[in-house]
Amino acid sequence: MNEAPARTFTSRLLELVRNAGWALRQMWRTGPGLTAAWLGANLLRAGVPLGVALFARGLVDTFVDVSDEAVFAPLIPWLLFGLAVMLAEAICPLLSELCQARLQTDVQLEITAELLEQASRLDLAFFEDTRRQDLIERAREAGAQQLTAFAIQCMATLRVGLQGLSLAGILLVIEPLAVLVVGPFALPYLFFQWRLARGRFRHDNLRAPGRRWSNYFSSLLLTPRTVPEIKLLGLGPLLVQQFRKIMGDLRDGERRLQWRGFLAGLLYVSLTTAAFFAIYYRVVHRAFVGELTIGEVAIFGASSARLRNSLERCLAMLGRSLQAAMGVSHLRGFLAAQSGQMQSSATLPEAEAGGRIELEQVEFCYPGRDAPVLQGVSFAVEPGEVVGLVGENGAGKTTLAKLICRLYDPTAGTIRLDGQDLHSLDPEWLRHQIGFVFQDFCRFEATAADSIAYGDWHKLAGNREALTETAERTGADSLIARLPDGLDTRLGRQFGQVELSGGEWQALAVARAFARSPRIVLLDEPTSGLDARAEYQFFARFRELARGCTTLLISHRFSTLSLADRIVVLRDGKVVETGSHDALVAQAGYYAQLYRLHRLQMDGETDAGD
């Protein structure tokens, strides 16, 4: 074994010890009594083989030494000792399994809750960073299960290892040559198991994107939203073929690892069995010449077979524990992850926001990208003003809205609210001042009441009167009136009873945005899912809803932009024009080009309709 692998192996063992200690602390924190009982049961199980060996030797030797057949008393202590050992061997696994099952349930609950709490604390940039996707996938798919499986694996390894050590001690006392089997055969097999664990861990890392691909193909072929297009394009066979290729490669890699493990195990058990049998021959010969007792021969034969099995299991378990330790390191890494962007030392402002938003030379670049999305953006929105944001796809409009919500921090430049840098404001307070509807709004699997109440959960949860007033004020009451159970109708395909159209989901999103009576309103394509009648009704209600609010309106639809007092035009992440609709059309610049294309499109649709 050369120096570099030795250092790596040592570091992995230290990582195993650290992670095992961390897992044990998590279990102790969740259930100290259960953890203590679980540890005690496993330690008693570890001593059972030694107890069985001592019982067998003592009973046989005492039986041989008793010359008077009528004297049975010397055997009774050994029989009672054997009864205790057998009871421990029978009861400890049951107690261990009970405590283990209870701990698994409790620890998985606590760790999953910690994972979700950590996810709620992390910034949006963390989840959009492509370098974090496999870490997020592993945390989502096997976080809590991985921890409990690792703890159980470590305990099983420790238990079998202690059994092996006790048996090895007995054999070495009886026949010192047994060390020739314990050392030279065990150490190479341990190193192989470590190498195999590294290979399995690398393969598991490949399985994380494989699982994401599997989920992706499943969502395409099983989700009602995508099934029609998949069928019309005839993509089913192609997607299945791609799925088989990706998952087949992963399966083949796993088979190679399984075959390597089988061959190594076969070689190990064959050599150790032959070696133990050769040493056992020497033990029998020593007993024949009077150097050992019959009991020692019996205990050596039984213990050697059990030791070989214990060594094989312990080394294999240690390899799997090393593999699991690497996975637990990722779990700990996710729980300890820090985005480092939403830092704020601000105190909570005493008054509501006035609503003036000012951007000064704002730049932003997404993690992992070289080209900035926004470059030197500067403009202001006055309280009560409706400002439209216009630009082609990728111009940075939605990114700008998310910066104002402080879902990101600018790479450079400053965003102020009422003259205060957003960095100096508490993020939670800031976001409570904002009502928003993004293009990719959430379609909550919840009741209609909850879907609206999420806009201001602390105020609206369970407040039917306020919910009804919000629905009426935002125009969602007509939708709710059509639902079978009104506000109590559970929505969505996964757990609900009613699936809404895109426009109906958007109506609930708008109601949710205005549920908190915001000072700032951010609307990203608010009418994209609405038909002409619903759009007209939305416009008629919008001025009243947004009265007194600072409103940023993102849209490609010029009918929507007619609501704006002023329009800011973005191109390639820069502000290129600012002004009213009429003034911008008169300038005959970039906005006028977009508007002309829009009119040509509308005229073409009208001609086609005629």
pLDDT digits (tens, 9 = 90+) for 433-452: 888 888 778 888 888 999 89
Residues 392, 537, single domain; the answer is yes
CATH classification at residue 27: 1.20.1560.10
pLDDT digits (tens, 9 = 90+) for 163-204: 777 777 777 777 777 666 666 666 666 666 666 666 666 666
Instruction: Give residue 51's pLDDT.
Output: 81
**Domain presence at residue 232:** yes
In the predicted structure, residue 588 carries a pLDDT above the cut 60:
yes
Residues 382, 528, single domain; the answer is yes
Residues 207, 272, single domain; the answer is yes
**Domain presence at residue 501:** yes
Q: What does the alpha-carbon distance between residue 182 and residue 303 come to, in Å, rounded to a whole number? A: 13
The domain boundary, picked from 496, 517, 538, lies at 517
DSSP secondary structure string, 417-445? ETTEEGGGS-HHHHHHTEEEE-TT----S
- DSSP-derived letter for residue 178 is G
Instruction: Give residue 7's pLDDT.
Output: 47
Residues 271, 285, single domain; the answer is yes
The domain boundary, picked from 517, 543, 563, lies at 517
Residues 167, 290, single domain; the answer is yes
In the predicted structure, residue 610 carries a pLDDT above the cut 50:
no
pLDDT digits (tens, 9 = 90+) for 221-280: 877 777 777 776 677 787 788 788 877 777 777 777 778 777 777 776 777 777 777 777
**Domain presence at residue 279:** yes
Asked whether the whole model's pTM tops 0.85, one would answer no
Provide the domain count of the chain: 3
Q: What does the alpha-carbon distance between residue 208 and residue 141 come to, in Å, rounded to a whole number? A: 9
Alpha carbon distances (Å) from 187 to 193, 318, 584? 10, 12, 79
Q: What percent of the chain has pLDDT over 90?
A: 8
Residues 513, 584, single domain; the answer is no
Give the residue among 511, 521, 515 at the shortest CA–CA distance from 546: 521
Alpha helices in 420-530 (DSSP H): 427-432, 448-453, 457-460, 464-474, 477-482, 502-514
Q: What is the mean pLDDT of the chain?
A: 78
**Domain presence at residue 489:** yes
Q: What does the alpha-carbon distance between residue 422 and residue 433 come to, in Å, rounded to a whole number? A: 13
CATH classification at residue 460: 3.40.50.300
Helix 294-336 / helix 3-30 crossing angle, nearest 10 deg = 80
**Domain presence at residue 467:** yes
pLDDT digits (tens, 9 = 90+) for 80-138: 888 888 898 889 889 988 888 888 888 888 888 887 888 777 777 777 766 666 667 66
pLDDT digits (tens, 9 = 90+) for 481-537: 999 999 999 888 777 778 888 778 888 888 888 888 888 988 887 766 666 666 666
Across residues 590-605, what is the average pLDDT?
A: 77
Residues 158, 253, single domain; the answer is yes
pLDDT tier for residue 608 given thresholds of 50, 70 and 90: very low
Q: What does the alpha-carbon distance between residue 12 and residue 322 come to, in Å, rounded to a whole number? A: 7
In the predicted structure, residue 575 carries a pLDDT above the cut 60:
yes
Instruction: Give residue 348's pLDDT.
Output: 60
Structural domain boundaries, residue 50: 16-336
The domain boundary, picked from 517, 532, 558, lies at 517
Alpha carbon distances (Å) from 339 to 334, 342, 353? 11, 8, 27
Residues 191, 320, single domain; the answer is yes
Residues 427, 455, single domain; the answer is no
Q: What does the alpha-carbon distance between residue 382 and residue 354 come to, in Å, rounded to a whole number? A: 9
Residues 211, 93, single domain; the answer is yes
Instruction: Give residue 216's pLDDT.
Output: 75
pLDDT digits (tens, 9 = 90+) for 323-360: 677 667 777 877 777 665 555 555 566 566 678 999 99
- More confident call, 317 vs 356: 356
**Domain presence at residue 549:** yes
